[in-house]
Structure 1
């Protein structure tokens, strides 16, 4: 028997905090921002994540992909018939992240 998959990464980034406002981390299982209520990652969270992972682009991509997996699990469990599409979740969580080079060099 294969071992069951463990839970993905905990949404602990961005770590930037202020005294009078909640952090821009996701509120699970709805995956909305604790601070502004927009779908997470909100614009502020994206900016803070890019700054926090400035020189660790692969780590940011892995972190976002793991959270996308967790969001798929939560959101499809909440609403299995009308949840977001995999493409929408990819664009929301991963596509905005670090610059990616094309797999094949384009020659002119």
Structure 2
């Protein structure tokens, strides 16, 4: 097992690299930056590739992203408890861009 992976946890292997010989846009753990471009993972390219890969199964994409949210939160809080991202930031980063976004709720009308 590579030293950057958490013991007992599977390595995130999605999205698949495209083209196949390119560096994969997968997370480098425990920092959760992209192996290919160095941005916070999921980077814009990985988001596009994940949406494409899971186009026919958005429920699986949501489940995958929620699992990675849990793993990333655990890793990042272990690395730096005082400077770890907030739960809201983590949700936005991992899940909010996924297939099941709802539009913001409208404010209720004033009841006078």
TM range (shorter): 0.7 to 0.9
- TM-score of the aligned structures, taking structure 1 as reference length: 0.81
In structure 2, the gaps of 5 or more residues are: 1-7, 104-112
Greater shift, 7-16 or 55-64, is seen at 7-16
RMSD (Å), alpha carbons:
1.9
- 1:36-95 CA-to-partner distances (Å, cap 9, x unmatched) read 000000000000000000010010000000000000000000001110000000000000
Query: For this pair of structures, how many residues does the alignment match?
Result: 96
1:99 CA displacement: 3.0
8 A contact 1:8–1:66 mirrored in 2? no
Q: 1:9 to 1:62 in 2, by over 3 A?
A: farther
Distance in 1 between residues matched to 2:69 and 2:10, nearest whole Å: 10
Are 2:15 and 2:49, in contact at CA under 8 Å, matched by a contact in 1?
yes
Partner of 1:44: 45
Aligned to 2:69: 68
User: Structure 1 regions of 5+ residues with no counterpart?
Assistant: 1-6, 103-108
Greater C-alpha radius of gyration: 2
